[in-house]
Amino acid sequence: MQYRLLGQSGLAVSELCLGTMTFGNTTDEQQSNRMIDQFLDAGGNFLDTADVYVSGRSEEIVGKAIQAKRSEVILATKVRFPTASHVNGAGLSRKHILDGVEASLKRLGTDYIDLYQVHTWDKATPIEETLRALDDLVTSGKVRYIGCSNFFAWHLMKSLAVSEAKRYVRFVAIQQQYSLVSREMDRELLELCVEENVGVIPWAPIGGGFLTDRYGYELPTEGRLANPNGGESSWAVRGTERNLAIRDAVRQTAKELERTTAQVALRWLIQREGIISPIFGARTLEQFEDNMGAIGWEMSAESWNKLDEVSALPSEYPNRFIHKFSRGLK
């Protein structure tokens, strides 16, 4: 396992992050514990959860599993979505953040969170209020670093500007959907993250299972992609002609490299500039072990470029305009 610094910080995290959204749901506690143990034994140190995953059950399982190794683990969780039925039971107000962190600390059985992330933008709350609350949590020692998730580029840039102007702690990481079939970050956000040294920790790195051998070319009858309410992981989003062509290229590359499709999709991300630690999830130990096969080897430049080209976004304004008049300098 290799390690990278998380954005503009001295915090070293493993090149893969274990996502725990299924823990306590489709993955029972016993299997969850085995995954965490195997991940830590393999050198992984980065775990991601959220207060809304399985109504807090994921945090409880993770906290219990890492108690004996707490200082070795970089523990990340999130706040933003509804955790109570009253009007202030959601959002990024000072109240909900302070309520949320106390509840998460209790479920996790710890007195600090390494990376506390806002789960998405809250247009009802001034970002100054949100960042001040997060800054206070870092000062208090309950949180070590802060991050964001599911932001537009302007959300991130405004947040960084406010932190600089107010001398608040800044976001060191962003958790965003990014994969060979979800490259919207390439329009603006990824370049901004590289420029401002904000570490990218992608979610859905294998397209919610789409970039595996599990599915064919028609609407599936089982699994996450079969759910019409699956949002970003539904077949309506994933099963486009373009995405099917990308998946075919992944499968061909996997065959050439004698790897699995999941390993190839993850490895492409690991070797992408700006990407710090893809967050992989697993419902079963078999899936977990497959995903862990993404470490310990290098994809050739030829194979990497082939996948990069087939999955690249169409040429768009203003990118093509700027590129046309580029001076070829940094």
- Domain containing 244: what range? 3-324
Catalytic residue annotation: 53
What's residue 224's pLDDT?
A: 67
Across 67-84, average pLDDT: 97
What's residue 223's pLDDT?
A: 65
Across 40-58, average pLDDT: 98
Question: Which CATH number characterizes residue 123's domain?
Answer: 3.20.20.100
Across 219-234, average pLDDT: 67
pLDDT per residue as tens digits for the range 276-304: 999 999 999 999 999 999 999 999 999 99
pLDDT band at 232 (very low <50, low <70, confident <90, very high): confident
pLDDT per residue as tens digits for the range 194-215: 999 999 999 999 999 999 888 7
Report the alpha-carbon distance of residue 224 to residue 170 in Å, rounded: 35
Give a yes or no: residue 317 inside a domain: yes
Total domains in the fold of the chain: 1
Report the alpha-carbon distance of residue 136 to residue 114 in Å, rounded: 15
What's residue 222's pLDDT?
A: 64
Retrieve residue 146's tokens.
């802060």
As a whole number, the mean pLDDT across the chain is 95
Give a yes or no: residue 329 inside a domain: no
Give a yes or no: residue 140 inside a domain: yes
Q: Is the pLDDT of residue 305 over 90?
A: yes
Give a yes or no: residue 330 inside a domain: no
Say which residue the tokens 């999830």 belong to: 281
- Whether this prediction's pTM lies above 0.85 is answered by yes
Strands 74-79 vs 113-118: parallel, antiparallel or unpaired: parallel
Strands 12-14 vs 3-5: parallel, antiparallel or unpaired: antiparallel
Q: DSSP label at 211? A: T
Across 225-237, average pLDDT: 70
- Most distant CA pair in the chain, distance: 57
Q: Is the pLDDT of residue 156 over 80?
A: yes
